[in-house]
Amino acid sequence: MSRKLLVAPVHLIDRKTVGEARRVLASAFPDFEVTPVEGPYIPEIEAYDGIRGQWRADAVAYGLAMWARRTHGCRDRCMVLGVSPDDGYVPGLNFVFGIALPLAGSAVIFTYRLRTSSLERYLERVRKEVLHEVGHLLGLGHCRVRKCVMSFSNSVFEVDLKTDKFCAACAARLKRLGVEVGQDHLL
């Protein structure tokens, strides 16, 4: 039985970004059924901090999980990834590029800080953060291999330093968890 991964727009993110997220996930995880979701998920306003001008990432991800269950039947062996144009944070950090809640089966990337004048550089950053957060959903932690997509990024500069590939150790861990990684996404 294959796993299902929904890719959902959050707020009014452009279709190109959501399409790129879906494409990279289908390429990286060929055994997954990667399905785009029409219509955006709109987070509860309580998740927005008007003083900071940011969305609380964990609240958005949890709300996304509940929405996916309610409106798309996302239950066992189903995960959902949200793609948001907004800026996200968690308490204790100024911002996050994304967050994963493995127990809820939900993750969100926030593209606000990934933007640049180069569309290709922007989409490259999106691919890396999408794979990073889904890697967390699948059970991976942060990796010490700087080029591995699972390495921690505290700045967009650090996002640019890593690749959209899993190192041998992370790929082996995924394999032990029953997840095959596409050849184009192995270091």
Q: What is the pLDDT of residues 165-177, one digit of tens each?
A: 999 999 999 999 9
pLDDT score for 74: 86
Q: What is the pLDDT of residues 7-33, one digit of tens each?
A: 999 999 999 999 999 999 999 999 999
pLDDT score for 77: 81
pLDDT score for 104: 96
Are 88 and 110 within 8 A, CB to CB?
yes
DSSP H or E segment with residue 106: strand 106-110
pLDDT score for 2: 76
pLDDT score for 151: 98
Distance CA 5, CA 176 (A): 19
- The encoded tokens of residue 62 equal 């949890």
Q: Which of 173, 130, 120 is nearest to 26 (CA)?
A: 130
With both helix axes pointing from N to C terminus, report the angle between 15-28 and 119-137 in degrees, rounded to the nearest 10: 50
pLDDT score for 38: 85
Write out residues in the chain with pLDDT < 50, as ranges.
none
Is 133 labeled as catalytic in the residue annotation? yes
Contacts of 180 (CB under 8 A, 6+ apart): 29, 30, 31, 174
pLDDT score for 75: 82
Domain boundaries, the chain: 4-179
Give the neighbor-by-neighbor strand order of the sheet with 33-36: 33-36, 4-9, 78-84, 106-110, 98-101
pLDDT score for 103: 95
Homologous superfamily, domain 4-179: Collagenase (Catalytic Domain) (3.40.390.10)
pLDDT score for 66: 96
DSSP H or E segment with residue 33: strand 33-36
Question: Which member of 20, 124, 129, 133 is catalytic?
Answer: 133
